């Protein structure tokens, strides 16, 4: 693991309006995420961890503060610039997989590549490799409804890495899985981090999942309350 920060967060504030009232969610957050880090964000419901993940992933904007990822101040980007930036720099892993039900595993993984100038042949080559990594080559023609939850999440991981993003963000990636499948997914994320040096930011409630990360940060009421570095992997 290197210590170069890939994510720099400075005095980040975020609040929501609910029924005319301003509800603060994140309050003056400042921290870095180093390149190659596997960070687990933990905290009780409403602590702001998913909001923080959304901000880092560029799918929401802060009220104020600096949010620099890969050297780019993303809070200043327009919606269309952010969309392009996400396509290149962020890989998403969602709790409920969020695969397109009408597309096969292969086509789901291929989807982000449509925003690139890659030829069909190059896309096929990449998708096959990504599916090999998640051990689903034999299921590439299957539709999400024909796959188990664990397999669907593996397809989602293949989709997340297909564009070789700077950062993989995972929101409760094991939240909808049984223990065995969850362990598989966590193992896969760990391998991505350890063997490929991928930077991963994961939101989780699951203590077992967080133990796979090498950094754990706890949020409570929008503030960092505790940091654990280089947590012991199970």
Token duo for residue 156? 């989602």
Alpha carbon distance 194, 192 (integer Å): 6
Handedness of CA 27, 31, 35, 41 (dihedral sign): negative
The answer to whether 102 contacts other proteins (rule: CB under 8 A) is yes
Q: Which residues, other chains included, contact 176 with Cβ-Cβ below 8 Å and sequence gap of 6+?
A: 95, 96, 97, 149, 153
Stretch that binds other proteins, among 23-31, 110-118, 147-155, 200-208 (CB under 8 A): 110-118
Minimum CB separation of residue 225 from other proteins in Å reads 24
- Pick one of 133, 136, 182, 213: the residue that binds other proteins (CB under 8 A): 133
Beta-ladder partners of 186 = none
The answer to whether 118 contacts other proteins (rule: CB under 8 A) is yes
The answer to whether 114 contacts other proteins (rule: CB under 8 A) is yes
| Among 119, 196, 121, 125, CA closest to 157 | 196
Nearer to other proteins, 125 or 226 (CB): 125
What residue ranges in 19-129 does DSSP mark as E strands?
A: 21-34, 38-42, 64-69, 72-73, 90-93
Minimum CB separation of residue 228 from other proteins in Å reads 27
Contact between 17 and 29 under an 8 Å Cβ cutoff? The reply is: no
Give the interface size with other proteins as a residue count (CB under 8 A).
48
- Pick one of 11, 76, 132, 234: the residue that binds other proteins (CB under 8 A): 132
The answer to whether 8 contacts other proteins (rule: CB under 8 A) is no
Minimum CB separation of residue 226 from other proteins in Å reads 26
Instruction: Report the C-alpha dihedral over residues 67, 70, 74, 79, rounded to 10 degrees.
Output: -150
The answer to whether 120 contacts other proteins (rule: CB under 8 A) is yes
Contacts with other proteins by CB under 8 A lie at 54, 57, 59-60, 80, 83-84, 86-88, 90, 92, 94, 96, 98, 100-103, 107, 110-120, 122, 125-126, 129-130, 132-133, 159, 161-164, 191-192, 195-196, 198
């Amino acid at each position: 693991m290197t210590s170069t920060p890939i994510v720099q967060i400075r005095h980040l504030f975020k609040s929501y309006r609910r029924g005319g009232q301003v509800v603060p969610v994140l309050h003056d957050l400042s921290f870095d995420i180093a390149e190659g880090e596997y960070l687990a964000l933990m905290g009780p419901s409403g602590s702001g961890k998913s909001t923080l993940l959304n901000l880092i992933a560029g799918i929401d904007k802060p009220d104020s503060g600096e949010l620099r990822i890969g050297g780019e101040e993303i809070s200043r980007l327009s919606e269309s610039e952010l969309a392009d930036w996400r396509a290149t720099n962020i890989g998403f892993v969602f709790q409920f997989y969020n695969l397109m039900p009408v597309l096969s595993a292969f086509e789901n993984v291929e989807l982000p590549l449509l925003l690139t100038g890659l030829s069909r042949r190059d896309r096929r080559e990449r998708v096959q490799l990504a599916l090999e990594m998640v051990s689903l080559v034999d299921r590439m023609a299957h539709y999400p409804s024909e796959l188990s939850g664990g397999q669907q999440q593996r397809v989602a991981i293949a989709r997340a890495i297909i564009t070789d993003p700077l950062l993989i963000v995972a929101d409760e990636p094991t939240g909808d899985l049984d223990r065995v499948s969850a362990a598989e997914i966590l193992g896969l994320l760990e391998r991505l981090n350890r063997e490929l040096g991928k930077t991963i930011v994961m939101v989780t409630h699951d203590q077992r999942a967080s133990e796979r990360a090498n950094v754990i940060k706890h949020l409570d009421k929008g503030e960092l309350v505790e940091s654990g570095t280089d947590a012991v992997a199970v």
